[in-house]
Amino acid sequence: MTVIIGLEIHCQLNTKTKLFCGCSTDYRDDGPNTHVCPICLGLPGTLPVTNKQAVLYALKVAKALHCKVPAFSEFARKNYFYPDLPKAFQITQYDKPLALGGYIDNEAENGGEKRVELTRIHMEEDPGRLVHKGSGDRGRYTLVDYNRSGVPLIEIVTEPQLSSPKEARRFLNKLRATLEYLGIYDSEREGSLRVDANISIKGYERVEVKNITSYKGVEKALTFEITRQKGMIRRNAQIVRETRHYQEARGVTTSARSKEMEHDYRYFPEPDLAPLEVSSWVDEIPLPELPDARRDRFVQQYGISQNHARTLTGDLKLAEFFEEIASDMPEIAAPWTADILLGELNYRDMPVTKVPVPHYGALLLEVKKGSVTDTSAVEILRLILNQVMEGQQPEMPGEIIARLGLSKEKGDSIVDTVASVLRENEAAVADHRAGKAGAINFLVGQVMKATRGRADPKEIAKIIADLLKE
Amino acid sequence: MGSRYSFDNPDPHNAFITICREAEYGEGPLSGIPVAVKDNISTAGIETTCGSNILKGYIPPYDAHVITHLRSAGAAIVGKTNMDEFGMGTTTESSAFGPTLNPADPTRAPGGSSGGSAAAVASGMVQMALGTDTGGSIRCPASFCGIVGLKPTYGRVSRYGLIAYANSMEQIGPLAGNVRDCALLYSVIAGYDPRDGTSLDLPAPAPLKAEIAGKRIGVPAEFFGEGVDPAVAKTVQSGIDRLEGLGAEIISCSMPSMQYALAAYYVTSMSEASSNLGRYDGVRYGTAPDFVRSWHDAYSHIRKSGFGEEVRRRILLGSFALSAGYQGKYYAKAQAARQMVRNDFARLFETVDMLAGPTMPCVALPLGETSDPLSMYLADILTVPANLAGVPAISVPCGTAHNLPVGLQLIGKHRSEDEILSAALAFEEGSV
């Protein structure tokens, strides 16, 4: 059963002001309804005026994603009633969007590239936000916060060319990285990237899943929905064309069908705004180095693997971090950052921007000099990250090595340890002499344990071999 | 600032919804002049209802662009005038605050929708007033009350703060007892406003001088077509003869797109209105909803009880015209017809400087006469073409028919307010 997925991605543009008024878009730490004015509250008599910066940001995305920008596009009204929509219409774009076509080269299952084509990119305003309170039949009520009302969004629509939830996740990661590189999007703002997905099994009706409020939820939502659809097909149940809502907390999709959801949006051109004739602006818009180009440069400049380069450039902040510490020792910095640091950060849900560069750099230097073992270095890294998480001033690796005695034990200092381990494990020594392959590993492990990880396993193996020869 | 205008006059014609008995005024070209403002123009601190129950109690927190200009020109804003609910009418009878009476004959309606503004001027309560004109709402009551009313070029006066009925066609404009006052008020409110995306950036209006000799004035046969009261036609024809006597060249012409104008106007205005009026849900202002109901039921209840019959009719018709499956048949066709009207004007203005004809096909109607909406819509036939094309038009008194005032309408090219005001002044003063 072939899976067909298309995505609609809503991305908040991080302009200073809203799409059609002068209100600030950065309301994160402020109370409800503090970033509002007559225009974004939709008071009678107010008129929208388009924020040029928002158009430039949207065009920047269109250019980076290889879209065509038509000579003429226009805003339209999408009419529907909902308490978060103060004008009872959303200013969006309908049949004349800002940009058409375009594509993203996405990492494919086999490690190569698969081109995913885009249908269009259009601009629109975000509605306000509802906050549901209370409980019980009579006790429930809803508050409306219009701080978000009028924040500029772009909607990026893909062709139905994605074939698995994993691929969709990779696509979104790539898109998100590109948007971050363009500097038009702030991933740390809650709800700054929201996804609707169209999912079908080839030969059956398609289902739209709305309300995926985090891009991390996409893979889970898609997986659930595909399992549901496949199950229905197996049971010979009919899949109906419908809109379903993703319930993040339960990880399931539920049918959104109700009278209120069956909209006829009555689109028509927004009479208060002149058409956009902005295609000539595109040439003037400078593009920064984008993820693909940076990945290729990392391979060239630092001599690191394609896979490491892809991981390291898959996030703008990570790429910048890597470049800060990479110059002297890319061959160590690449695997350490892509394989070890990233894992530790994910485990702690910690952003890379919080990693202290001098400390991390010094740690890699110790690794490079061979003054600590990898095991000790990971221990030191964890200690530093935990200190940062707890709000402490982190210790430098040198201090930690000295304090905990983590210096790598070398040569003579470990020969005695090895000798005593051999004495205490005669059975294993006998096994080794008899040619049992696992015995040496056991012995090395015992020495590692005895030195609390401060010895290099290769060196231990060599010493064991030398001692047993004698 | 600091001077106060005491406005304690009786209002026998119900011209006002709100009267400001002590109006502050300052220095400037309108210093101390009492000006009335139609109640669909936002005034900070003064209730603004659009003649509707649904906005009762709504006090805007901001001034419309034109109000800012009135204040800085020194005008005394003495009150908010009565109007057809949300501007939807030709008689001022659909107001939730009762009908306005025509000062020329108090048994008759003043026309609409800016009937309160026209009556306030015609009765002498104020020297000038602001109205709004979506399909004739300034010119119709000016004609019926025997005063001057100008609808400017679309974009010439900022709509910021004008509570929308049909955005793509409406303009704020002046009503006054004579052309000079009309031009004075116009010169105060005209100008660029970055807050209105459709605002035009043009030089200030030129000083007014009577000028008509040598002007080529087109008279489309359709302006005297079916439905025009012969007595009105006769009065206007003699007015056009006077224009000729003043040295204008009168040229017969034709405007075939007139046959589509009313349909194009009503489909467009109702469609836009159905969207514009969606926001009146009681959540943020106006009558509060009953929160025990679900939001959906509360909205329906508020909108059903808050809007009058004509408003509900137009919202429903407009929603239908925009709905899936019918949009191509109605809204899209109306836009095509609108383009034909624009093209007709463009073609005519290649050979003439302005067009002349009656403002209204009839004189003021007795109160309560227009219970049939369709016959009311038909009365707008001569005024809607200027709104469809966005060109300026003025109604100037031209005599009487059936002992009631009749207006002569002059329609100009885009941005030619100065020219039609000059012609109107020459006509009014009977001089070249």
Residue B206 belongs to a domain: yes
Q: Do B129 and B120 form a contact (C-beta atoms < 8 A)?
A: yes
Whole-prediction pTM: 0.91
For residue B295, give the nearest of A44, A83, A89 by CB distance. A83
Of all residues in chain B, the one with the smallest CA distance to A79 is: B275
Look at residues B331, B365, B389 and tell me which one is the last residue of a structural domain: B331
Query: Could you give the CA distance from residue B388 to residue A271 in angstroms, rounded to a whole number?
Result: 13
Residues of A in contact with B163 (CB under 8 A): 44-45
| Residue B178 and residue B31 share a domain | yes
Predicted pLDDT at B290? 66
| Residue B156 and residue B217 share a domain | yes
Catalytic residue among B42, B113, B257, B274: B113
Residue B384 belongs to a domain: yes
Q: How confident is the model at residue A258 (pLDDT cuts 50, 70, 90)?
A: low
**Hey, what are A415's tokens?**
């020969």
Q: How many residues does chain B have?
A: 432
Q: Do B48 and B17 form a contact (C-beta atoms < 8 A)?
A: no
Distance of CA A5 to the CA centre of its chain: 19
Residue B298 belongs to a domain: yes
Query: Could you give the CA distance from residue A60 to residue A290 in angstroms, rounded to a whole number?
Result: 12
Of all residues in chain B, the one with the smallest CA distance to A140 is: B292
Residue-wise pLDDT tens digits, B227-263: 999 999 999 999 999 999 999 999 999 999 999 999 9
Distance of CA B161 to the CA centre of its chain: 15
Nearest of A54, A50, A22 to residue A38 by alpha carbon: A22
The residues near A212 (Cβ < 8 Å, ≥ 6 apart) are A194, A195, A196, A197, A218, A221, A246, A248
Residue-wise pLDDT tens digits, B319-351: 999 998 899 999 999 999 999 999 999 999 999
Residue B41 belongs to a domain: yes
Query: Could you give the CA distance from residue A119 to residue A8 in angstroms, rounded to a whole number?
Result: 10
Q: How confident is the model at residue B395 (pLDDT cuts 50, 70, 90)?
A: very high
Q: Rounded mean pLDDT of chain B?
A: 95
- CA-based angle A97:A102:A108, to the nearest 5? 140
Catalytic residue among B38, B80, B215, B413: B38
Query: Could you give the CA distance from residue A267 to residue B143 in angstroms, rounded to a whole number?
Result: 37
The residues near B213 (Cβ < 8 Å, ≥ 6 apart) are B246, B247, B248, B432
Look at residues B331, B366, B384 and tell me which one is the last residue of a structural domain: B331
Inter-chain CB proximity A44 and B55 less than 8 Å: yes
Cβ count within 10 A of residue A111: 9
Q: How confident is the model at residue A259 (pLDDT cuts 50, 70, 90)?
A: very low
Residue B44 belongs to a domain: yes
| Residue B37 and residue B95 share a domain | yes
Q: Around B367, how many Cα atoms within 13 Å sit in the side-chain half-sphere?
A: 19
**Hey, what are A84's tokens?**
């978060």
ipTM, 2 dp? 0.95
Nearest of A84, A24, A267, A236 to residue B279 by alpha carbon: A84
CA distances from A358 to A209, A395, A407 (A): 45, 11, 20
Give percent helix, percent strand, percent coil of chain A, each to the nearest 5.
40, 20, 40
- Give the containing element (helix H, strand E) for B375: helix B373-378
Say whether A448 sits in a helix, a strand or coil: helix
- CA-based angle B175:B382:B394, to the nearest 5? 30
Chain B contact for A271 (CB, 8 A cutoff): yes
Residue-wise pLDDT tens digits, A358-388: 999 999 999 998 888 888 899 999 999 999 9
Number of domains in chain B: 2
| Residue B416 and residue B311 share a domain | no
Query: Could you give the CA distance from residue A149 to residue A326 in angstroms, rounded to a whole number?
Result: 43
Residue-wise pLDDT tens digits, B287-319: 776 666 788 888 999 999 999 999 999 999 999
Give one DSSP letter per residue of B231-291, joined into a string: HHHHHHHHHHHHHHHTTPEEEEE--TTHHHHHHHHHHHHHHHHHHHGGG-SSSSSSSPP-T
| Residue B91 and residue B124 share a domain | yes
Say whether A384 sits in a helix, a strand or coil: helix
| Residue B145 and residue B104 share a domain | yes
**Hey, what are B314's tokens?**
């137009």
Chain B contact for A1 (CB, 8 A cutoff): no
| Residue B143 and residue B288 share a domain | no
Chain B contact for A260 (CB, 8 A cutoff): yes
User: Exposed/middle/buried for A356, CB within 10 Å: 0-12, 13-18, 19+?
Assistant: middle
Residue-wise pLDDT tens digits, B20-48: 999 999 999 999 999 999 999 999 999 99
Q: Specify the CATH number for the domain of residue B393.
A: 3.90.1300.10
Residue-wise pLDDT tens digits, A109-141: 887 889 999 999 999 999 999 998 888 777 788
Residues of A in contact with B197 (CB under 8 A): 47-50, 272-274
| Residue B225 and residue B164 share a domain | yes
Which residues, in sequence order, are bridge partners of residue A155?
A10, A122
| Residue B69 and residue B120 share a domain | yes
| Residue B169 and residue B91 share a domain | yes
Residue B290 belongs to a domain: yes
| Residue B166 and residue B64 share a domain | yes
Q: Rounded mean pLDDT of chain A?
A: 92
User: Exposed/middle/buried for B248, CB within 10 Å: 0-12, 13-18, 19+?
Assistant: buried
Residues of A in contact with B324 (CB under 8 A): 264, 266
CA distances from B314 to B114, B272, B277, B298 (A): 18, 10, 10, 21
Q: Is the pLDDT of residue A261 over 60?
A: no
Cα of A39 to nearest chain B Cα, Å: 10
Structural domain boundaries, residue B279: 260-331
| Residue B379 and residue B303 share a domain | no
CA distances from B198 to B87, B135, B193 (A): 20, 18, 9
**Hey, what are A241's tokens?**
């064309």
Residue B337 belongs to a domain: no
